């Protein structure tokens, strides 16, 4: 049974609703599941809801969990539900477009389908599903707690808070951004949405639990989430730092000791807004959190004793050679120019991998532009110096968005009356305006890849998929306009689909959630006609030759996911080991592509 005597801050006085949010691989699903079991064991009736498209809640409990509320057989008083955002989005489209088929002109129906094809629709449809859970009084009578694995994004809440007359504004053709379309027809539900947003912002009803790792990149990501949610009124936030290296078991392993020092440094320098939150630290566990026994021990009191004896019994060491990052560079360099996109979830090390590849290509005397579309990226800090043949730039979302707003107001807004300009200005405050503005900058960067290498450190996956949605919509619009003219044209999407001109590298960790999410990203890319070129497994314990029992146990747990990437998901792959020190600076980055990877 769990150590119920220990008082975790995030559990103290827990209200009815709790949202666990964090990037892939930080352990939010594990924490949500362990919390659900702990509350149910304590006599509470609990509903655990996953809004994550890569949900593995059913796998954690070794039972099937679907789109209906399902009792978890092994845990009394616990029920679970896995939402399907893609199915929700399709249902949303069918409800809006269905009545128009056979009534509206075919071109108008196709335009509606295009408008509702983006990731914004998926976000809003998922929000529509769980607003019922937040506002349904019957659920309040049935369950003491409703726990959500993955919180609503500030992006979606800002959309739903826009006070303008959505339907008339869209119908009159005054709107200019891509994501007001999914809001069409929502006026009848605005009362329910307002009630849901109010419930989210009420600290007596809702708590947000931000989950992060003790890593600079992870803390930076969660700080951005904290700020985004605070701006839309969600202030009841707690922070859980998961997977902290237990200091009592690092003395005999230089790698473990170095990781512990690095984590403590990251924690001591975390953003001030995060440091001010009520915070808990959960130590690194050796075993995967699958099944009830590890879940029930996950929230035991913090310990510096490392893993349990059962988890660290010696087992045969597995040795094999694995492709190293440097082995990809020869093929990347062969064309002499092109676009290299490094993609993946936040916190997997995309910026480091992108910078290392840029340094390696520049070291061969090739001209390289290293740039990023991630507002949280810190390329200059990662490079920490200059390198011959290497230039660095950044697609600044704020600057690009302001430039785009001014352009639209000066052109489309010029012909509107005062009321129309006011509505247009409000439309341009939508977060999707940023997606279009960044797309324009992205298109400019793509053109530069025709004469040099452009290594693009992309934003986390959700943001990037919105960018690809915009790219695809632009491509289809150009096809409609130019297809019948016979004039040759090339769109940004056509370049992304050309594997000779664009190489997409998916970065992941050797963990269940991040590999699942990377596989879903690959599926999304393939649906857009973009074939990923390679996968990179970053920060691998198995490739770092650990000697501490804790890290050796962690290494053994990586093998199924390394095997999955090598045998099922990737056409080619590379493994980058966990490092004792952060790879900051051009010399350290160059070493990342020079080492040979040997897994144990």
* Catalytic residue set: 25, 27-30, 52, 513
Of 53, 223, 209, which Cα lies nearest the Cα of 125?
53
Phi, psi of 539 (to 5 degrees): 55, 45
Distant-in-sequence, close-in-space partners of 2: CB < 8 Å, separation ≥ 6: 37, 38, 41, 296, 297, 298, 299, 300
Radius of gyration over alpha carbons of the chain, in Å?
24
279-302: b or e for each residue (b if 16 or more CB lie within 10 Å)? Answer: bbebbbbbbbbbebebbbbbbbee
- Cα–Cα distance list, 307 to 270, 284, 509, 554 (Å): 27, 8, 21, 10
Q: Cα(324)–Cα(150) distance, rounded to whole angstroms?
A: 34
Q: How far apart are the first and last CA of the chain?
A: 34
Q: Cα(531)–Cα(526) distance, rounded to whole angstroms?
A: 6
CB 8 within 8 A of CB 283: no
* Helices (H), ranges, 238-315: 254-268, 272-275, 292-298
Distant-in-sequence, close-in-space partners of 76: CB < 8 Å, separation ≥ 6: 40
CB 541 within 8 A of CB 551: yes
Of 38, 46, 539, which Cα lies nearest the Cα of 289?
38
Across 45-189, the runs of DSSP E, i.e. the strands, are 46-50, 70-71, 78-82, 145-149
Of 572, 502, 520, which Cα lies nearest the Cα of 86?
520
Q: Cα(595)–Cα(600) distance, rounded to whole angstroms?
A: 16
**Residue 378 structure tokens:** 């810190």
Of 268, 275, 297, which Cα lies nearest the Cα of 285?
297
**What is the per-residue DSSP string for 507-547?**
EE-SSHHHHHHHHHHHHHHHHTT----EEEEEEESTTS---
Name the 3-class secondary structure at 165: coil
Between CA 168 and CA 176, with CA 174 as vertex, the angle to 5 degrees is 120
**Spacing of C-alpha 476 from chain mean position:** 27
**What is the per-residue DSSP string for 36-84?**
HHHHHHTT--EEEEE--TT--HHHHHTS---SS-EE-TTSTTEEEEE--
Q: What sign for the dihedral angle of Cα 219, 225, 231, 236? A: negative
**Residue 330 structure tokens:** 């020869």
**Residue 200 structure tokens:** 């989210």
CB 529 within 8 A of CB 503: no
Instruction: Scan for tokens 């001014």, then name that residue.
Output: 406
């Amino acid at each position: 049974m769990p150590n119920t005597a220990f008082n975790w801050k995030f559990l103290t006085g827990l209200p009815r609703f709790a949202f666990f949010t964090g990037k892939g691989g930080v352990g939010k699903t594990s924490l949500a599941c362990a919390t659900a079991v702990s509350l149910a064991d304590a006599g509470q009736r609990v509903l655990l809801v996953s809004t994550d498209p890569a949900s593995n809640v059913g796998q954690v409990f070794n039972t099937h969990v679907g789109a209906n509320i399902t009792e978890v057989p092994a845990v009394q008083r616990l029920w679970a539900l896995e939402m399907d955002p893609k199915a929700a989005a399709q249902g949303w489209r069918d409800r809006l477009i269905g009545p128009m088929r056979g009534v509206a002109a075919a071109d108008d129906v196709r335009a509606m389908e295009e408008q509702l094809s983006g990731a914004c629709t998926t976000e809003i449809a998922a929000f529509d599903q769980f607003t019922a859970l937040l506002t349904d009084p019957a659920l309040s009578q049935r369950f003491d707690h409703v726990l959500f694995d993955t919180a609503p994004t500030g992006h979606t809440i800002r959309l739903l808070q826009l006070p303008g007359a959505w339907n008339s504004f869209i119908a009159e053709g005054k709107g200019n951004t891509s994501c007001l379309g999914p809001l069409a027809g929502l006026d009848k539900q605005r009362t329910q949405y307002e009630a849901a947003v109010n419930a989210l912002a009420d600290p007596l009803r809702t708590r947000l639990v931000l989950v992060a790792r003790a890593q600079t990149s992870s803390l930076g990501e969660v700080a951005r989430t904290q700020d985004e949610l605070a701006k839309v009124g969600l202030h009841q936030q707690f922070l859980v730092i998961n997977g902290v290296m237990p200091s009592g078991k690092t003395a005999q392993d230089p790698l473990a000791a170095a990781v512990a020092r690095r984590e403590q440094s990251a924690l001591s320098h975390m953003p001030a807004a995060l440091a001010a939150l009520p915070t808990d630290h959960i130590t690194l566990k050796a075993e995967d959190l699958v099944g009830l026994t590890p879940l029930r021990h996950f929230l035991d009191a913090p310990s510096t004793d490392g893993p349990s004896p059962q988890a660290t019994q010696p087992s045969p060491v597995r040795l094999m050679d694995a492709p190293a990052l440097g082995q990809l560079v020869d093929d990347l360099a062969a064309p002499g120019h092109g676009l290299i996109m490094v993609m993946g979830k936040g916190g997997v090390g995309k910026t480091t991998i992108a910078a290392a590849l840029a340094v390696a290509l520049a070291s061969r005397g090739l001209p390289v532009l290293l740039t990023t579309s991630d507002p949280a990226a810190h390329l200059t800090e990662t490079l920490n110096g200059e390198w011959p043949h290497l230039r660095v730039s950044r697609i600044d979302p704020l600057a690009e968005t302001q430039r785009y707003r001014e352009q639209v107001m000066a052109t489309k807004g010029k012909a509107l009356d005062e009321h129309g300009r006011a509505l247009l200005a409000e439309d341009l405050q939508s977060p999707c305006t940023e997606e279009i503005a960044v797309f324009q900058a992205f298109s400019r960067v793509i053109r530069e890849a025709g004469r040099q290498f452009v290594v693009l450190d992309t934003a986390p996956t959700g943001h990037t998929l919105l960018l690809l949605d915009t790219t695809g919509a632009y491509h289809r619009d150009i096809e409609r306009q130019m297809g019948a003219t016979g004039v040759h044209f090339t769109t940004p999407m056509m370049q992304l689909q050309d594997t000779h001109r664009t190489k997409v590298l998916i970065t992941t960790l050797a963990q269940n959630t991040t590999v699942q999410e990377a596989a879903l990203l690959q599926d999304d890319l393939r649906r857009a006609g973009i074939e990923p070129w390679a996968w990179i497994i970053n920060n691998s314990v198995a490739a770092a030759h650990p000697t501490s029992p804790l890290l050796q146990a962690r290494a053994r747990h990586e093998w199924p996911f390394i095997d999955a990437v090598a045998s099922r998901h990737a056409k080619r792959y590379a493994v980058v080991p966990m490092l004792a020190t952060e790879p900051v600076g051009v010399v350290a980055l160059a070493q990342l592509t020079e080492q040979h990877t040997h897994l144990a």
